[in-house]
Amino acid sequence: KAGVTQTPRYLIKTRGQQVTLSCSPISGHRSVSWYQQTPGQGLQFLFEYFSETQRNKGNFPGRFSGRQFSNSRSEMNVSTLELGDSALYLCASSLGRGRAEAFFGQGTRLTVV
């Protein structure tokens, strides 16, 4: 079966702009999580959605937001981009029940200039 797909793979944006990243989970998976990966901070949790409801949110400013659609696809949005938002953004999907295994996408590399 197809894995987790993230688009686009690479993005270059200017400070102050906004960006939307997309994640298509594995078919049948209802949970989608987002993580930010940077050399300095490692992998940090952004938020998790299950059946269009946000169940948990990490310690990020309100500029970071997300949503999940009825087909389980998810988007995350970052407004008023800052240089420090440059990172690899990873999406993971799982069945969402119990402690099911999370499968990760290839990530979107965001560079803010």
Contact 6, 66 (CB under 8 A): no
Q: Which is nearer to other proteins, 67 or 104 (CB)?
A: 104
- 57 versus 73: smaller Cβ distance to other proteins: 57
Q: Which of 110, 16, 23, 112 is nearest to 63 (CA)?
A: 16
Under rule CB under 8 A, which residues in 72-91 are in contact with other proteins? 90
Beta carbon of residue 81, minimum distance to other proteins (angstroms, whole number):
24
Smallest separation, CB 45 to other proteins (Å): 4
Classify residue 102 by its DSSP letter.
P
Distance CA 80, CA 91 (A): 21
Neighbours of 49 (CB within 10 A): 25
Question: Could you list the residues that contact other proteins (CB under 8 A)?
Answer: 3-4, 31, 33, 35, 42-45, 48, 50, 55-56, 58, 90, 92, 99, 101-107
